[in-house]
Structure 1
Amino acid sequence: MGLSGRARPAVLAAGAALLAAACVPGTDGSAAGAPGPGAGTSIPDPATAGRVTLTVWDQEIRGGQNDELEQLNREFQEKYPNVRVKRVARSFTDLKATLKLALSGANPPDVVQANQGYPDMVAFVQAGLLAPLDNYAGIYEWNTRYPATLLNLNRVSADGRRFGAGRLYGISQTGEYIGLYYNKDVLEKAGLAPPRTWGDFTAGLGRLKARGELPVQFGNLDKYPAIHTFGVLQGRLGAARVRDTVLGHGPGFDTADTRAAAATLADWADRGYLPEGANGLGYEDAAKKFASGEGGYLLTGTWQLAQLKKAMGDRLGFMPPPPATAGGDPVTTGGQGLAWSVTSRSRHPEVAAAYLDFLTGGHAADVMTAHGVLPAVAGEAASRVPPDTVDGQMIAGWRRLSAADGLVPYLDYATPSFYDTLSEHLQGVVAGRLSPARFAATLQKDYGAFIRKQRSAPPAPAGAR
């Protein structure tokens, strides 16, 4: 990005297997040569585009994400004074609810963040609302900046039927994973140390409760937080099985893993390890309560780190969910942030592509690191973060997870309707209204119908979009 954006910054996680958990085996980006905007070989210069207003929709509304993006937007406009970035920032829930209408409207934005998987990115591609970026990937060397496993998460097949292969429809700025935040003061008062194993963690929940402390802060009014919590509980029981299922070739969701994870979540609620009435507590409100000292733990994503650190300072600790045995390989839900995509009706696709390049290069990675945000591909600044800080803990966890192939894709990628099915029925599990067995069967009904439809659909004609 900028002058350094076309260099090859080191991948934050070691090894060519980075995020293999989130890529479809056998995909090769075979549609990388597909026609699309930016078909030339020279690097487009936004300075020659005349007066441009680039409308950008994103969901980076909190803490460090908002700050790093505001800084990069300012720098992009300073570099190209002829370009104005008109930013529309919404929460994830609001973006998800309104983006398709905006994309199909009379004046669609130029750049959007699109969630990967079938409910959003694949649906937008099927509707012709996003532009393929393969030629830009060649021009800006995204194919060498990013591991193929990261790029594959933002690919959709030429027939529009599956994600993980085919044309590139976005690039992601951030890495992310669901981790365990802990309040050092609350744990110390309960005589607890940061857990080294999953057994240490779960045993400590009862101790916290007995001492009058809330063990796990949690708010599920927005519905998606339970997807993350449940995903951690399910993934630790069988990461490979869950991963294969999300990617369309696993055992499905009516399994012992699903039932056991749902039973654990229900048990936490029943024992009072979660806040009473958690389904009525907002996600951001729960984070604020944790920052103010209510709760020993908060199980959520790396995107909350900068905001929590600002409020808690040295009282905050962070780690991947602890492994089954001390020193063992960690496992959790994670991958990369929402893709930054160019819309198919953007009037300024080359400026939009230059903006994506600016947001994701080496300088951008350093800006993210400075703001406590985890970049998908590291810049030089990551190597200078002290390991004993909460930022250092986050970076070290990302390295360990990636080296161990311990990242399991987000469950809502699985089918076009799975986000709604999963989030709605997890509320029933948390409230004690839905048994683990019924929950697992309900998920499988959605998933099984989609897989049968996928397998029975005739092959797309040659040249299909």
Structure 2
Amino acid sequence: MTLRAVKKPVLTAAVAAASALLALSACAPGGGGGDDEGKEAQPSDIETDVASMGDVTLSVWDQEVRGGQAAQIEALNAAFEKKYPNVTIERTSKSFDDLQKTVRLAITNDDPPDVVQVNNGRADMGQFVSAGLLQSLDGYADVYGWDDRYPESVRSTASYSKDGKTFGEGSLFGMPQVGEMVGLWVNKQKLADLGLEPPQTLDDFEAAMKAAKAAGELPVQLGNAEAWPAIHDFGVAMNQYVPRDDTRALGYGREGASWTSDENVQGADLFKSWVDAGYLTPDFNAVPNDTAWRNFAKGEGVFMIGGTWYQADLEAAMGDNLGFALPPVGPVGEPAVTGGTGLPFAVTDASDHADAAAAYIDFITNADAMKVIQENGGLPVVDGDAGSATGVGAEVIAAWNGVTEQDSLVPYLDWATPDMSDLLGQELQKLSAGSTDTAAFLDALEKNYTDFTGQNE
């Protein structure tokens, strides 16, 4: 990425270091090629007969570490090795946060993995694409029929122009297994004790939080020590006022969008009002995310705003007492649900076994794999069957199917710029702690955004 001298983006220390690392990756052993584009296999050159490839060891890095996530990937890995005894999967599994911290180094070292799960956003996949560290999967999509298997709305979340500048269109650089959406996890018994139903509107939700607090209950469980979890609570607040198309423009980093519109001010003020009213966990910026969801599973909190990736663990602890509801619809008058896909599986540019790696990705994302994912409490990105699901899984799949049919999905706000994830998380901690106000908060986001879109032309 070439920066204009007169418009240099605001970079956190972590992102500055990552940018420096990627700039050096052109010279790193096994790395991609800086300004060079990553490899792209042509359909006529792709080998799909894995059994004839000889002995292959595939190094795979993933973040499928929670109960249901780990169970599905372990089952699929075992099935792949059984089908192809000549292939050994050398799996490295890390938590989301640990993967974020280490994957940059992993794909530029002397012995990089073949397959990695990569965050869709500009700070990760976008920078890796621009540095030539990931292979375009367009040829494999043609051979394996991925364009027919996954709708464009799904493929776009892992698509970039080959220079990494344009997000949401261009070449395919990853294939996800699961859908994701942020909604309301509900303690059904606590909600029933309050004489309430899952909220449908913003007024319903605020009345429920007020009633819970008055009854001595914690309205909304939140742990934000890592800074990113509150982005989801903030997103729900923003979606009450900001039109879907405006959120999409912001999330995909498109020039002309703005963080300082009247609707964004209303959304930020709403989030701050929830903090000030004591509706969220006390001192939530000091509470780790894992502590928070485990506390919710133990019965602390009427609601928890979070993604569908919590389903398996919460259901294991709460059983039939766990419910899931889509976020309420506010004055904007249209449903908007933050989400997209789980981290896509990508093939590194340095992989010596790209055809085997692509065959592996095809295997773990095919129709049979979707059944395994659903059986283990995951949300299949396609082919989910609410009728065959039980418990909260049926609620989640039905909600996902409705959201995708109604085109209600909006992207994660921290996808907007390469360093928006860090910046937004840090600024939200300051806003919730009272060390900044909503105007200064949004101004900081706006400056970062306009600096980036101005130099990304």
Question: Same fold by TM (over 0.5)?
Answer: yes
- Going from structure 1 to structure 2, the CA distance change for 1:43 and 1:378 (only over 3 Å counts) comes to farther
- Shift of residue 266 of structure 1? 2.0
Match of 2:407 among 405, 408, 418: 405
- Going from structure 1 to structure 2, the CA distance change for 1:38 and 1:383 (only over 3 Å counts) comes to farther
Stretches of structure 1 lacking an aligned partner (at least 5 in a row): 1-33, 456-465
In structure 1, the partner of 2:369 is: 364
**C-alpha distance in 1 between matches for 2:107 and 2:221:** 36
Which amino acid in 2 is paired with 1:275? T
**C-alpha distance in 1 between matches for 2:317 and 2:273:** 30
- Going from structure 1 to structure 2, the CA distance change for 1:211 and 1:128 (only over 3 Å counts) comes to same
In structure 2, the partner of 1:245 is: 250
In structure 1, the partner of 2:266 is: 260
**C-alpha distance in 1 between matches for 2:258 and 2:417:** 12
Q: Any conservation in 2 of the 1:41–1:139 contact (CA below 8 Å)? A: no
In structure 2, the partner of 1:432 is: 434
Q: Does 1:343 align with 2:345?
A: no
Q: Does 1:273 align with 2:275?
A: no
Query: Deviations along 1:411-464, whole A, 9 cap, x unmatched?
Result: 111111111111111111221222111100000010010111123xxxxxxxxx
Which amino acid in 2 is paired with 1:399? N
In structure 2, the partner of 1:23 is: none
In structure 2, the partner of 1:73 is: 77
**C-alpha distance in 1 between matches for 2:73 and 2:121:** 24
Stretches of structure 2 lacking an aligned partner (at least 5 in a row): 1-37
In structure 2, the partner of 1:160 is: 164
Match of 2:326 among 320, 324, 329: 320
Q: Any conservation in 2 of the 1:302–1:374 contact (CA below 8 Å)? A: yes
SS at match of 1:172: coil
Q: Does 1:121 align with 2:131?
A: no
- For residues 274-293 of structure 1, what are the structure 2 equivalents within 5 Å? 274-293=280-299
- Going from structure 1 to structure 2, the CA distance change for 1:393 and 1:382 (only over 3 Å counts) comes to closer
- Going from structure 1 to structure 2, the CA distance change for 1:279 and 1:35 (only over 3 Å counts) comes to closer
- For residues 229-240 of structure 1, what are the structure 2 equivalents within 5 Å? 229-238=233-242, 239-240=244-245
Query: Deviations along 1:30-51, whole A, 9 cap, x unmatched?
Result: xxxx972354266512212222
Match of 1:300 among 297, 306, 312: 306
Query: Deviations along 1:161-212, whole A, 9 cap, x unmatched?
Result: 2222222111111111001011011112222222232211111111111111
- Shift of residue 224 of structure 1? 1.1
In structure 1, the partner of 2:450 is: 448
Q: Which structure would you say has the larger RCO, counting Cα contacts within 8 Å and 6 or more residues apart?
A: 1
Match of 2:228 among 203, 224, 231: 224
- Going from structure 1 to structure 2, the CA distance change for 1:375 and 1:250 (only over 3 Å counts) comes to farther
SS at match of 1:321: coil
SS at match of 1:350: helix
Query: Deviations along 1:251-278, whole A, 9 cap, x unmatched?
Result: 3112223322222222222222111110
SS at match of 1:367: helix
- Shift of residue 74 of structure 1? 0.9
**C-alpha distance in 2 between matches for 1:311 and 1:369:** 18
SS at match of 2:456: helix
- For residues 82-101 of structure 1, what are the structure 2 equivalents within 5 Å? 82-101=86-105
Query: Deviations along 1:367-409, whole A, 9 cap, x unmatched?
Result: 1111111111115x554225xx311111111122122221110
- Going from structure 1 to structure 2, the CA distance change for 1:436 and 1:251 (only over 3 Å counts) comes to same
Which amino acid in 2 is paired with 1:245? L
Instruction: Identify the range of structure 1 (394-403 vs 295-304) with the bigger mean alpha-carbon deviation.
Output: 394-403
- For residues 26-65 of structure 1, what are the structure 2 equivalents within 5 Å? 36-37=40-41, 39-40=43-44, 44-65=48-69
- Going from structure 1 to structure 2, the CA distance change for 1:130 and 1:198 (only over 3 Å counts) comes to same
With the length of structure 2 as denominator, give the TM-score of the two structures: 0.88
- Tell me the matched-pair count: 417
SS at match of 2:418: coil
Q: Aligned Cα RMSD in Å?
A: 1.7
Q: Any conservation in 1 of the 2:63–2:96 contact (CA below 8 Å)? A: yes
Q: Percent identity?
A: 43
**C-alpha distance in 2 between matches for 1:382 and 1:75:** 25
Which amino acid in 1 is paired with 2:327? P
With the length of structure 1 as denominator, give the TM-score of the two structures: 0.86
SS at match of 1:181: strand
SS at match of 1:104: coil
**C-alpha distance in 2 between matches for 1:395 and 1:254:** 35
Q: Any conservation in 1 of the 2:187–2:321 contact (CA below 8 Å)? A: yes
In structure 2, the partner of 1:180 is: 184
Runs of 4+ in 1 over 4 A off after TM superposition: none
Which amino acid in 2 is paired with 1:185? Q
SS at match of 1:179: strand
Q: Any conservation in 2 of the 1:217–1:274 contact (CA below 8 Å)? A: yes
Q: Does 1:311 align with 2:317?
A: yes
